[in-house]
Amino acid sequence: MGAQARLPATLPSAPLARKAHRDAVNRVREAEMMIENLRANLKDARAELRKAEAARRAAEDDLEAIDQGTRPERT
């Protein structure tokens, strides 16, 4: 579905229309790059979360073993 036709007197000049298009394309590219950066950062954050959760579980196992007087089992 295209844009509705505009009256000739309301159209911008050709150079202004080209500049507006270039600016819009650049804004789209910048937004897409921001999204890709956020995705990469989220992937890194999830990896760090997995490491932190593993360390937390190991520490909890150690504490439980200390409380019970036994050695923790490592997998």
- Tell me the pLDDT of the chain (75 aa) as tens digits: 456 777 777 888 899 999 999 999 999 999 999 999 999 999 999 999 999 999 999 999 989 888 888 765 665
pLDDT at 69: 82
pLDDT at 11: 85
Phi/psi region, residue 37 (left: phi>0; alpha: psi -120 to 50; beta: rest), is: alpha
Q: Which two tokens stand for residue 51?
A: 């490491």
Residue 61: which residues within 8 A CB-CB, separation 6 or more?
72, 73
Whole-model pTM: value is 0.63
Q: Which two tokens stand for residue 20?
A: 């507006």
pLDDT at 10: 82
pLDDT at 72: 56
